Amino acid sequence: MVVYSCTKHIDGQGRVLGGAVLGSRKWIEGVLQPFIRNTGPALSPFNAWLLLKGLETLGLRIDAGCRNAAAVADFLAAQPAVARVWYPTRADHPQRELATAQASAGGTVVTFEIAGGKDATFRVLNALRLVRVSNNLGDSKSLVTHPATTTHMRIGAEERARLGITDGVVRLSVGLEDVEDLKEDLGQALATLADRAAA
């Protein structure tokens, strides 16, 4: 069984909520279909239509987003304010061999850690002009989130520390903007840390 959030890349433009559940015909007919029949979850026709329209350009959008993400990951790795970058196809990723064996690209999400903790990280996020702060990902526009205060907030500081999710960790869902514009925006936001240190 595979459960996928269609709100992410399939829609790709942050317009709808939806999901897909996939499995064997036997499981779908014997387990899922009776559950759906008795509980009533269903997409609206309009949301279903938007998701079908999104599928028409899915491959093009994912390919472009992956190229942008790889370039952004390399850019971030060269920034002095960035302590670490995680991107599956980079040579320094601990599971690069597995990632390249299983996938043709590294995906559209780049995770990185800003040196200086939460205050420095929030300063950078607040200085972004093109990239938007959001709890979503998989959009055609670039979005950034702070896991320690959003997606992983409820697991507690001890568990976050065990997982390596510090207050400086950021997840960047790279979109379809011009990659040079994305680098410029990230660069100017990261530069605010140097500007403050110099002041």
The per-residue pLDDT for range 53-110, each reduced to its tens digit, is 999 999 999 999 999 999 999 999 999 999 999 999 999 999 999 999 999 999 999 9
Same-domain status, 72 and 22: no
Q: Are residues 51 and 100 in the same domain?
A: no
Q: How confident is the model at residue 151 (pLDDT cuts 50, 70, 90)?
A: confident
> Residue 149, Cβ neighbours under 10 Å: how many?
12
In terms of domains, do 87 and 160 share one? yes
pLDDT, mean of residues 162-177: 92
Domain count, the chain: 2
* CA dihedral (64, 70, 74, 75) positive or negative: positive
What pLDDT was estimated at residue 169? 92
Boundaries of domain holding 28: 2-56
Same domain, 51 and 129: no
Angle at alpha carbon of residue 173, lines to 112 and 184, rounded to 5°: 70
Residues 21 and 114 in one domain: no
Cα–Cα distance for residue pair 96/102, rounded to 1 Å: 10
Domain end, chosen from 56, 86, 102, is at 56
As a residue count, the chain comes to 199
Average of per-residue pLDDT across 106-130: 95
Q: What's the pLDDT at 197?
A: 60
Q: What is the mean pLDDT of residues 107-127?
A: 95
Does residue 109 share a domain with residue 66? yes
Q: What is the pLDDT of residue 158?
A: 87
* φ/ψ of residue 132, rounded to 5: -105, 140
One-letter amino acid of 7: T
Q: What interhelical angle do 45-56 and 58-77 show, nearest 10?
A: 70
Tokens 């960047």, residue? 172
Q: Domain containing 184 — which CATH number? A: 3.90.1150.10
Whether residue 130 sits in one domain with residue 86 = yes
Statement to judge: residues 136 and 69 lie in one domain: yes
Report which of 65, 62, 84, 71 is spatially closest to residue 183, judged by C-alpha positions.
71
Is 45 a residue whose pLDDT tops 70? yes
Helices (H) and strands (E) in the chain, counts: 8, 7
Tell me the sheet residues that pair with 97: none
Are 76 and 130 within one domain?
yes
Q: What is the DSSP string of 37-97?
A: HHH-----HHHHHHHHHHHHTHHHHHHHHHHHHHHHHHHHHT-TTEEEEE-TTSTT-TTHH
In this structure, the answer to whether residues 43 and 73 fall within a common structural domain is: no
